[in-house]
Structure 1
Amino acid sequence: MLKIFHSCYRYNIPIGLHANLSEGSPVCEVLKTNSSLLNQDGFFHGKMGFRTALSKGLLKMSEVKQELKAQVELFRELTGHLPPHMDGHQHVHVLPEVRHVFAQVLEEYGIEYTRVPVEPGLHKCDWIAPSLMDFYRGVEEDSLNTVDVFTRHGIRWPNIYIGLSTMGKNMSVSNIWSAIDTAIGDFTSKVPSPAHPNPQSRTVTIELMVHPGYPSVPPIGGCGEGPDDFSQSWERLHELQTLIKPELQSHYKTRNIQLCSFKDI
């Protein structure tokens, strides 16, 4: 953890908080035992287990808020500042009930930015496995139902979100550009601007979700239970190698795309 933060500061990489309620153990000490957020083994319920427990009314939102605040405080302790943006691991922050608590925490701490994972053109991506597409459709529905909640709390997010269609083995320079072109076309067609007759002259902000890294070797990694399958696979390294390709950087320059952080928007 400390090494990661050190590298981010060394290379001036902005960092935010990816709040976790589904993998490993809580940060909050009082929730490490006898908490609705834990399964019988003493760990978070997991990606789908969390959703199941939530749908059955088994999770206490007071404990969700307690854990989210503990993670914000730990981030501040490690970095010396609050996160400029904050979202949820496995998109738990847009789930029913959780979205309200999440928004309250962001407003209390003055954290302005988050993620709303609705990706234009995703339904046309026939290379995504049906089971995974079903999960993505659920994320999209939850996200659309979250927009009003985040808006009421003064929370903002980029104009466009992409990354589900370009994740892991599906990431390539061409897929990234196809996702960007599709998203921009969809956005500009829905949001005309009288101040800019030419939609291409407008400034549009895009979040590209990525997972660059190196394959984890058990038992090191993860949040307490060891690394998951994705963390151990070659796909994170594949993302890293794709993102640093000169041709991708050249495309950014050619298309006048500026790489920035949440605080820049």
Structure 2
Amino acid sequence: MPQPKIKLVVTGDDFGYCPRRNRGIVDCFLAGAISNVSLLVNSSSAKDAAELAIRHCIPIGLHANLSEGVPVCQKLRRDSTLVNDNGFFHGKMGFRKVLQKGLLSMAEVELELQAQVKLFCDLLGHLPSHMDGHQHVHVLPEVRDVFARVLSEYGIPFTRVPVEPSLQSCSWLPLPLHEFYTQVEKDAWDSSTVFRAHGIRWPDVYLGLTTMGENMSVSSIKRAIGKALAAWQPKSPLAVPQCDTVRGTQGPVTVELMVHPGYPSDPQQGGCGQGPDSFSQSAERQHELETLMDPQLLAFYKQEQIQLCAFKDL
């Protein structure tokens, strides 16, 4: 059987994090290496990112943030279950610990998500075409229900369901990272039923956990796409249940590739209120940028009839 044609959404996450991340993401988009971005509205360079998206007509969604920096909603910045004693979100793992202890108010989660959607609209002049969660918090228990309700309330049609077909075969991932990704996948599987009940859609295949940072190369992206297509069948256990309106029975397979390109952050500039983290300062950001812009990868897309597009094009 010939390889099916693919609609590939290459999403640059963390747009707005700092000026150097913004510049790298824009360079990638102008080179045809990414096709979609997700904006952190509580980041230090969110306004600049929004202006760049408008200037360059970059398809843009909301990277909802409940784990890093400061809430957008003013009244949640103190005496809130979402923040620690210093007024900052609890962090990637801290958020999960507070949630597991039953100490997180879902009413406050909803208020913050609504505030971030409203700020996105103020910055861009329109609703996000898609909305996912920074550090995958949107698929966590309880949070997923609130997240789906907010998407439905605002009519935001697309989200991300991070279940990657080749994850379990990647024995080379460090054990702590593999365990975290495995838990993300389990939460994502469980969230798919909730999202589907609210009429929310997502691409047929998700990629990105196994191709991040130093693990990204032209060959690793090719391999991930190949494995995904080999594994994906509409009725297979690897096909996360979703709305049938994403693709027709004869249509192309839709894929999202999550990426984090950029130029490494200046240690004194960026972040969401606490300065840029080590992830953003890492040389891996530029490594991703250079890999995504590699002429060999762009030629591969053309050769295999892989069409880069945005969520709004699905």
TM-score range, shorter chain: over 0.9
Amino acid at match of 1:188: Q
Residue 227 of structure 1: aligned partner? 276
Residue 228 of structure 2: aligned partner? 183
Aligned length: 256
Residue 197 of structure 1: aligned partner? none
For 1:235-246, list aligned pairs within 5 A: 235-246=284-295
Q: How far has the Cα of 1:228 moved from its partner?
A: 1.0
DSSP-derived class of the 2:206 partner: strand
Indicate conservation of the 8 Å contact 2:70/2:273, yes or no.
yes
Q: Distance in 2 between matches of 1:130 and 1:189?
A: 31
Q: How far has the Cα of 1:2 moved from its partner?
A: 2.3
Q: How far has the Cα of 1:134 moved from its partner?
A: 0.3
Residue 58 of structure 2: aligned partner? 13
Task: Return the structure number with greater relative CO, CA threshold 8 A, min gap 6.
Answer: 2
The one of 296, 306, 314 equivalent to 1:247 is 296
Amino acid at match of 2:117: V
Cα-to-partner distance string for 1:202-225 (whole Å, 9 max, x where unaligned)? 510000000011111223111111
After alignment, is 35-44 or 110-119 more displaced?
Answer: 35-44
- The structure with the greater share of residues assigned to strand is 2
User: Relative to 1, partners in 2 of residues 1:171 and 1:74: Cα closer, same or farther, differing over 3 Å?
Assistant: same
Indicate conservation of the 8 Å contact 2:204/2:253, yes or no.
yes
Residue 195 of structure 1: aligned partner? none
- Corresponding position: 1:144 with 2:189: yes
Unmatched segments (≥5 aa) in structure 2: 1-45, 237-249
- Corresponding position: 1:218 with 2:267: yes
Residue 72 of structure 1: aligned partner? 117
Q: Distance in 2 between matches of 1:229 and 1:205?
A: 32
Q: How far has the Cα of 1:6 moved from its partner?
A: 2.3
Q: How far has the Cα of 1:23 moved from its partner?
A: 0.4
Q: How far has the Cα of 1:248 moved from its partner?
A: 0.7
Amino acid at match of 2:291: T
The one of 110, 114, 121 equivalent to 2:155 is 110
Amino acid at match of 2:215: N
For 1:253-264, list aligned pairs within 5 A: 253-264=302-313
Taking only the aligned residue pairs, the percentage that are identical comes to 61
The one of 157, 168, 190 equivalent to 2:213 is 168
Q: Distance in 1 between matches of 2:187 and 2:143?
A: 11
Amino acid at match of 1:56: K
Cα-to-partner distance string for 1:15-73 (whole Å, 9 max, x where unaligned)? 10000000000000110111000112210000000000000010000000000000000
Amino acid at match of 2:207: I
Q: Distance in 2 between matches of 1:3 and 1:238?
A: 23
Q: Distance in 2 between matches of 1:132 and 1:42?
A: 28
Q: Distance in 2 between matches of 1:189 and 1:180?
A: 16
For 1:31-180, list aligned pairs within 5 A: 31-180=76-225
> Alpha carbon RMSD of aligned pairs, Å?
1.1
Unmatched segments (≥5 aa) in structure 1: 192-200
Q: Distance in 2 between matches of 1:183 and 1:66?
A: 37
TM-score (norm: length of structure 1): 0.94
Q: How far has the Cα of 1:9 moved from its partner?
A: 2.5
TM-score (norm: length of structure 2): 0.80
DSSP-derived class of the 1:41 partner: coil
Q: Distance in 2 between matches of 1:69 and 1:48?
A: 23
Q: Distance in 1 between matches of 2:131 and 2:261?
A: 18
Q: Distance in 2 between matches of 1:71 and 1:61?
A: 15
Cα-to-partner distance string for 1:112-132 (whole Å, 9 max, x where unaligned)? 000000000111112211100
Q: Distance in 2 between matches of 1:89 and 1:121?
A: 22
